[in-house]
Amino acid sequence: MRIRPGRLPDIAGDFACASCEQTFRAPDLDRHFWCEECIAAARARSKRIGVWVGIGLAGALAAWIFLVQQPTIMIGGWIGAVLATFWLGMRIAAELSYGIMRSRSRPG
């Protein structure tokens, strides 16, 4: 029996999705008993949360740079730091929020 990565093996019976509680065959659920629709909804919601957190972090850093540091030269380096903060903050917040959603078995 070949098992797809992250999926339940082909076993007899139907199981309820841990998030939406709809009934699916075992191969249609992942190892946490989530269906594809719930996974996609959780990923989309976590991505939106990540973008907003990234914007907030980047905005706070940009405000600190311009109000406290008051750069006159090398503005490109400061802009790069703000963009890196946005990207890293977005990725970290998205993964954390997705992990929290999955651990609580709630839909996105």
Instruction: Please state at what angle helix 75-104 crosses helix 36-64, rounded to 10 degrees.
Output: 150
41: Cα separation from own chain's centroid: 10
Give residue 4's pLDDT: 52
HEC sequence for 47-74 = HHHHHHHHHHHHHHHHHHHHHHHCCCCC
What is the distance between the alpha carbons of residues 33 and 20, in angstroms, rounded to a whole number? 10
Low-confidence ranges of the chain (pLDDT < 50): 1-3, 108
pLDDT for residue 56: 97
Amino acid 71: pLDDT: 82
Which residues sit opposite 30 in a β-bridge?
A: 7
- Sign of the alpha-carbon torsion through 40, 22, 27, 105: positive
What is the reported pTM? Answer: 0.77
pLDDT of residue 8: 53
Cβ within 8 Å of residue 77, ≥6 positions away? none
pLDDT at 3: 47
Beta-strand (E) ranges in the chain? 14-16, 23-25
